[in-house]
Structure 1
């Protein structure tokens, strides 16, 4: 059947991204996908990580590292590590499948998204930074050695305008912004953090319809580096951890789970306080001060005194 020849594909280029990939596979399974799950891994991935991946994916496929070696453009971006994303192009060589959906390893699937296979190449959601470009964290494609060759030629001749796979794919599939509207996926299929800040009212209105969350940027859910996150983002991070720890049965995992849960609730409380401060400031700036409550003259006087001390 068509379903048997279709797959969700992701890529792990470091051991820490393997954690992300495990969550991609688990979240797809949890929401009842009927398609195969495939992860491509680079040679530097440890035996232990491969083992963890074999546990949750239908197929683990070793691929070579391709680096754009485009240091000039990558340094413009301030993200030299993005060169490795050229390895993503290997997904077009998976010709044992007729159609695939690529998901970056820093995504989390929140519901069944098998309907994506009704779309054709190259379907993707707009990037919030420049909506006439698609974000390459989630896209529908058809494996083909012909397309793979074309992409490599294009890379050699033109490089990538951002030094990463997104620039290359956007210039190769250049009809995306003005072409077939059915190839433009709704933003909820690739909801990324920056949009929570740039257009908060829309996020509050539509965010609960999110289907795939994309943890863009340097601070990943699994990394130690914490960024200030909105309350909603914090909830998504907690969901990510819940998924990551869902199948680990050892007692250490249990302890980790407890630590994570308490950290999650602390962070959620902090985020809620931040959110409240932000909301208060927004109302104040919009001229809707709470003159009978926290914005009484007395309270403002106290704040000024503290500030001037």
Structure 2
């Protein structure tokens, strides 16, 4: 049964609520709208009863969003956060990438640091008891509704190069409990004087939730694990596959050959054709070297 709630400031939903819980993603341009098509199909195939919410900014046109309606999602138009001019200047793409360059992989040209902060509007979705956020450059490989039982704030570690990375979280998948009070506290902390968040929302969330709860690494399996830490990879246990850095919809990106099995899998979920039995896929061979 659908439920009606007043829309928080900065959000314009397309439809009413139908569940207590929701999967949430963020679409900021046509590239991520394409990514969301594969993500939404993958979520629907798990037969979850939860809502699917797509937050989308003004950088996405109606034609790019229209294919998402096939998956019975709630489209919620999202304003950029009400942040100071000084904050916005510090976090422009050029400034972020000059002060904190990406050295482990290549971010595509469409990467927009300021848009990333719109993730925290999830805490305005108070019509839901709990939400699972998933980046639009990911796919869900099995039902993960059990994550709705995890406490706030829960995220998987940012492991893709070495086990030493277990102390850092990755904000591509996280569990949160929406609350207006939390959202307001986050805005104040985010735009503190001279604040600079080198990995945007990810750095901020780890600072705001220093005692974050750890999800299994399999709930946010980063694609570089495929060749950097193949011993961690087991298709039978992976819940979410996250295509960090280079995206599977890019043509001939620098690591396309090394990641070909993962790219082909993403395209299967995009089209809905020839989606394989995930548990039967071959794991990477130990001894692979980074491209």
Q: TM-score range by the shorter chain?
A: 0.7 to 0.9
Mapping for residues 1-309 of structure 1, pairs under 5 Å: 4-66=19-81, 69=88, 70-71=90-91, 72-78=95-101, 81-128=112-159, 130-157=165-192, 159-176=195-212, 183-203=213-233, 206-217=234-245, 219-229=246-256, 233-246=259-272
Distance 1:175 1:132, change over 3 A: same
Gaps of 5+ in 1: 177-182, 248-256, 258-271, 282-309
Residue 227 of structure 1 deviates from its aligned partner by 2.7
Answer whether contact 2:153 2:174 (CA < 8 A) is retained.
yes
- Maintained 8 Å contact 1:74/1:82: no
Corresponding residue SS for 2:168:
strand
Contact kept, 8 Å, 1:108 with 1:214, in 2: the verdict is yes
Corresponding residue number in structure 2 for 1:268? none
In 2: Cα distance, 1:97 partner to 1:241 partner:
31
Distance 1:153 1:58, change over 3 A: same
Aligned pair count reads 244
Q: Is the 8 A contact 1:83 1:163 kept in 2?
A: no
- Residues 171-208 of structure 1 deviation map (CA, whole Å, 9 limit, x = unaligned): 000112xxxxxx211100000022233323333xx354
Q: Which has the larger radius of gyration?
A: 1
TM-score (norm 2): 0.76
Shift >4 Å, 4+ stretches: none
Residues 115-142 of structure 1: CA deviation (Å, up to 9, x unaligned):
1111011111011263212100000001
1:95 Cα deviation from its structure 2 partner: 1.0
Distance 1:246 1:197, change over 3 A: closer
Structure 1 distance, partners of 2:168, 2:155, is 9
- Cα distance between partner residues in 1 of 2:121 and 2:232: 36
Higher relative contact order (CA 8 A, sep 6+): 2
Contact 1:38 1:57 in 2 (8 A): no
TM-score by length of 1: 0.72
CA RMSD of aligned residues (A): 2.7
- Residues 10 and 166 from structure 1, CA distance in 2 versus in 1: closer, same or farther, beyond 3 angstroms? same
How far did residue 225 of structure 1 move?
4.3
Residues 1:45 and 1:56: Cα distance change in structure 2 (over 3 Å):
same
Partner of 1:300: none
